[in-house]
Amino acid sequence: MTPMPPQPRDFRDDATTCQRPILIFGAPRSGTSLLSRLLNAHPNISIPFESHLFNQWQSRSALYGDLSSSDAQLRLIEDIIRFGVVHDWNPLPRPREVLAHVEGNSFGAIARAFLSNAAAAQGKPRWGEKTPHHTLLHRDVLEAWSDAMVICIERDPRDVALSWKRARFGGDHVLPFAKAWVRYSQACSEVKENFSSDRVFELKYETLVRRPEETLCTLMTFLGEAYDPSQLHFHEASSPWKTDSRNREKLRTPISPLSVGRWEQGLHAREVRLIEAIAGSIMQQKGYALSTLGDGASSGAMAFARWIVAPAKRISGAARNARGFVYLGRDIAWRLRAVGGRKVLRA
């Protein structure tokens, strides 16, 4: 039986807006990293590196026993820090400091404690979170963090595909990127449909990079914060941020609209046709005009791309993803530790 969607909430009687967590939803390569750096540069807001807490650890948390026990909570926290993406945070969280921020007996309370602790480490009163994969798990995330505000950022899928191709973790074929963009875009639409307008802010990447100050002013008003000019100087921050080298270099430069429309030179016409065949209807709904590069991809071309070309390209992409192998190694280490079953993790 399909669960009922969360009901819209009226936040007017809740705690003040500026105390609510901030969640950034959107597809990878849609500007989520840029947006997180712009917000993290605000004196009141902390947004650390991606956490992958829900997609990696929510299902595993049952193996740690009753989370009303502080011992079980601590074991889970220790493993998240040791084996999870959180291991890449700087500064690295200390288990007992995270435990001190846990308020509740659920996985969501433990996940929240990681972000609260990160904000405290920066001396900031408010936290945010940016893990693109959490967009696809928005029901779980927003049930756990029911007071959170959401920013859904979207970008032309042709530019997304081009950026994804060039990323260390991407692969070289646009087919999986186009399909993923559709899933993420639909997830953002579901969030908008199921929650009230005082909780969800829709943002176009193209608008952000073309009119950054104006867009940030509007966004910060929505979040209940005053715009701070230092936000546009996010690139001057010296703190390391573990992302692919191409993304890291972009985050070290001022915000620029030069990345808008790069697909026109960077993608082959057949790639554009393939993307538009998969995502065209949603693109038009989102205000992205289709190209004039001829008819859409044929069914034969789609099948060839799906079964032959895309898998081969993903293998070549995986070969250059050194960081992905690090994450895989940690995941295998956790699984080997868990081979003994629940007794290993509960002892």
pLDDT digits over 300-318, tens only?
555 544 444 445 444 444 4
Asked, for residue 51, whether it belongs to a domain, the answer is yes
Residue 189 has a pLDDT of: 98
Asked, for residue 158, whether it belongs to a domain, the answer is yes
CA–CA separation, 298 and 277 (whole Å): 9
Asked, for residue 148, whether it belongs to a domain, the answer is yes
Q: Provide the domain count of the chain.
A: 1
Asked, for residue 108, whether it belongs to a domain, the answer is yes
State the pTM of this model.
0.85
Residue 13 has a pLDDT of: 41
CA–CA separation, 42 and 224 (whole Å): 12
Asked, for residue 1, whether it belongs to a domain, the answer is no
CATH number at residue 70: 3.40.50.300
Residues of the chain with pLDDT under 70: 1-16, 168-171, 238-248, 293-325, 339-347
Asked, for residue 7, whether it belongs to a domain, the answer is no
Tokens of 286: 């989102």
User: What is the extent of the structural domain holding 147?
Assistant: 18-346
Asked, for residue 26, whether it belongs to a domain, the answer is yes
324 CA to centre of own chain: 16
Residue 22 has a pLDDT of: 98
Asked, for residue 10, whether it belongs to a domain, the answer is no
